[in-house]
Structure 1
């Protein structure tokens, strides 16, 4: 049960962060298309209180700290399948905890940069660093997928690594082209997708009603340890993998719908400013036009 609770917590945190980023990015672009540039985070501009203005960063730091503690603690869970404590589970969990700690340091550095003058942190450096951390997360998830003894868990880790790779690419694009609105929106969408997939992973691995037919949890293995959810036959594993592929497509569709609805609602609230079209200038008429008209004397006797 603890495995599902952690994935549900991760999903809610990532979905909230991604949706907030989508709304703020869209609002900034609609309010001032020409002056738009990407931002590492969006403070609550309506409130000038120091804590409330940066509450998003405080919440991110708290969530990352909880995730770090969780990954560190579960790394010491025993795995009876390998006669005691599993070195594979221990080291992969510590790798995940290490990546989370790097994101925690990055968020703390951003908070210090925004609240003090001790650590200037330009946006391009932030996105470049975030790209490196997302790529590291991709590497850790890929390694975890290759070491899993359960095909179902390996598939979940593999899809998660793909989303992390997408986030890494979008971050490096934003570091080089900070005015690229599409990449900024894509980053928020990728965070939402990672949140939805975290929920799907928790449901597929730890909730009996959502575990595919032919697969089941092993009662003598702690939830979250590799091999805790197994498929009995090869056909069952292939069927479960196909179901996860289908669910991934469904989650992508949900994220696209969220993106469209977010843009539509934000555009309705903020309003759209269009540039690049020409409007007819007001012309004078009547007596005003006659007064401004100057009769030119005809020129004669000139040669071309």
Structure 2
């Protein structure tokens, strides 16, 4: 149960972060396509500008809400990984804690993301770290690549083919996020890459939830696979497939589910873009003042005729 709750918590945090980045990115692009530039951090609410960072009131206090929540979520994730790293894995070589090293690697990567979140907060709220956005995207690219390595190594040592498949898909999403961050570090005005990054974060969150359901909820575990009854902590490899045919079927089913998640994320992106485009276009049309008509201009010109001064005339 604890493992499933952690997957639900991680999924909620990632999906919320991805959706917020998607909405802010799309909104900024639609408002000003010619001056658009990708940002690693968007203030809250999205309508607040950089000049409002020192303003008083709720807008100024909530400006860094995204970073505060992100830092809290990363602290909870690091604490969870540290706790499970001290448990020995009963599935691998008796009581040898093989999964401990993977947990510690995850903690290290989470700590790097924690540092970059603190740096973003200091950069936006003070002049202690005047780092440019390109540097943050470059660092995020490196950290996502490290996350890809951690997930790939975890998949290679899994005794459960089902969990190995989940970890390998997660590694692929991290590699995609790393590539997109690298593109944004080199070309910050590429809107498609910024939207892709938001979609990748949402997809990672949905896949984390799918992983928890496929491994720890009996109703979602594929046919022919089951949880080991003597493993109560839900450690790595606790969901096994009995037959080779069941393993292949479960892997194919996960591939199909992943495609469904991809289509769902694409649908979210299209709906978000269409909704914001319609909303912003309506606001623009509503904010325009009526242009004076030709009749009004002519009337104004006739009513304000400037007469030439007459000099040297006699009555």
Same fold (TM over 0.5): yes
Judge conservation of contact 1:33–1:273 (CA < 8 Å) in 2.
Answer: no
Partner of 1:39: 39
Matches within 5 A, 1:81-120: 81-82=91-92, 84-120=94-130
TM-score, length-normalised on structure 2? 0.84
Distance 2:61 2:120 in 1: 14
The unaligned stretches of length 5 or more in structure 1 are: 275-283, 289-304
Distance 1:85 1:60 in 2: 35
Partner of 1:296: none
Partner of 1:152: 162
Deviation at 1:84, TM superposition (A): 4.9
Judge conservation of contact 1:13–1:195 (CA < 8 Å) in 2.
Answer: yes
TM-score, length-normalised on structure 1? 0.87
Judge conservation of contact 2:87–2:97 (CA < 8 Å) in 1.
Answer: no
Judge conservation of contact 2:18–2:199 (CA < 8 Å) in 1.
Answer: yes
Task: Verify: 1:229 aligned to 2:230, yes or no.
Answer: no
Partner of 1:65: 75
Aligned alpha-carbon RMSD (Å):
2.1
Distance 1:171 1:82 in 2: 36
Partner of 1:170: 180
Distance 1:20 1:152 in 2: 31
Judge conservation of contact 1:30–1:273 (CA < 8 Å) in 2.
Answer: no
Partner of 1:193: 203
Partner of 1:23: 23
Partner of 1:8: 8
Distance 2:282 2:265 in 1: 23
The 3 A distance-change label for structure 1 pair 95 and 272 is farther
Judge conservation of contact 2:141–2:178 (CA < 8 Å) in 1.
Answer: yes
Partner of 1:249: 259
The 3 A distance-change label for structure 1 pair 13 and 123 is same
Partner of 1:212: 222
Partner of 2:189: 179
Deviates more, 1:84-93 or 1:156-165: 84-93
Size of the aligned set, in residue pairs, is 279
Distance 1:93 1:172 in 2: 26
Judge conservation of contact 1:217–1:229 (CA < 8 Å) in 2.
Answer: yes
Of the two structures, which has the highest relative contact order with CA contacts closer than 8 Å and spacing of 6 or more? 1
Distance 1:38 1:81 in 2: 45
Q: Match of 2:98, SS?
A: helix
Distance 2:279 2:228 in 1: 51
Partner of 1:302: none
